[in-house]
Amino acid sequence: MQQTQGKPLSGEEVRKTIVYDIERALSLDDNFAAHIAYTGGFSFHASLVISLPSAVNSQVTRSVTGGRGEILLPSDTVVTVEAERDVEPHDHVRIDTEQPVPVLVETAQGQIKEEFIKYAKKDLAGKPGIPRQKKNTVRGIDAAQ
pLDDT in tens, 26-54: 888 888 888 888 777 777 778 888 888 77
pLDDT winner (highest mean) among 64-78, 109-123, 127-141: 109-123
Residue 140, pLDDT score: 45
54 or 107: which leads in pLDDT: 107
* Global pTM value: 0.65
Residue 129 phi, psi (nearest 5)? 80, -5
Q: Please, which pLDDT band fits residue 13 given cuts at 50, 70 and 90? A: very high
67, containing H or E segment: strand 59-68
Per-residue pLDDT tens over the stretch 75-105: 566 677 777 888 888 888 888 888 999 999 8
Q: Please, which pLDDT band fits residue 142 given cuts at 50, 70 and 90? A: very low
Instruction: Provide the residue type at 97 as one letter.
Output: T
104 or 138: which leads in pLDDT: 104
Share of the chain above pLDDT 70, in %: 74
Residue 14 carries which DSSP code?
H
Residue 49, pLDDT score: 83
- Sign of the dihedral defined by the CA atoms of residues 90, 91, 94, 99, in that order: positive
CA of 131: how far to CAs of 24, 102, 119, 140, in Å?
22, 16, 14, 27
CA distance 141 to 34: 18
Query: The domain containing residue 88 runs over which residues?
Result: 2-144
CA distance 134 to 92: 9
CA distance 105 to 115: 7
CA distance 16 to 34: 23
Bridge partners (DSSP) listed for residue 44: 66
Looking at every residue in the chain, the average pLDDT score rounds to 75
- Evaluate if residue 109 carries a pLDDT over 90: yes
Domain count, the chain: 1
